[in-house]
Amino acid sequence: MSYLDRDTYGMYKSGDATGPGPSLMGADTLIGEDVYNHREEDLGDIKEIMLDMRSGRIAYAVLSFGGFLGMGEKLFAVPWNALTLDTVNKRFILNVEKERLKDAPGFDKDHWPNMADTTWATGIHSYYGTSPYYDDPL
């Protein structure tokens, strides 16, 4: 199901055609959004979006990968700036091979990491080859 299908308020029906999709999007329409890589491999879907309450920036998308009916699935905090919106297929693109994602630092639903810990964050950004959002000027 794409963000257009979850648009209960009709906010995406009248968008401008100047950018790659809506300029602003509701977080609840992105929960459940599919994530693929450039090889068209399904990498999972977005389970949660983590906001930095001090800066107001989106820090991570929590991606679910593997498992069956929610059992045995692994969760990954993916830096928001590692994702690209694919407006043609109505999904996100993460430029990571499926095999590499299997080995990515992850966690289970009952043991979330402290995502505010800068040591943890540095490791995640290093793994995905992104700059920490808190190092980028606004």
For residue 63, what are the CA distances in angstroms to 48, 73, 116? Answer: 7, 10, 17
Please give the pLDDT value at position 87.
84
**How far apart are the C-alpha atoms of 110 and 63, rounded to whole Å?**
15
pLDDT in tens, 27-37: 888 899 999 99
Question: pLDDT of 67-116, one tens digit each?
Answer: 665 556 889 999 999 999 998 898 999 999 998 888 899 998 899 999 99
Flag whether pLDDT at 2 surpasses 80.
Answer: no
AA identity, residue 22: P
- Mean pLDDT along residues 14-37: 76
Contact 6, 34 (CB under 8 A): no
- Number of neighbours of residue 128 by Cβ within 10 angstroms: 21
Q: What does the alpha-carbon distance between residue 117 and residue 130 come to, in Å, rounded to a whole number?
A: 17
Cα 83–Cα 84–Cα 90 angle in degrees, nearest 5: 115
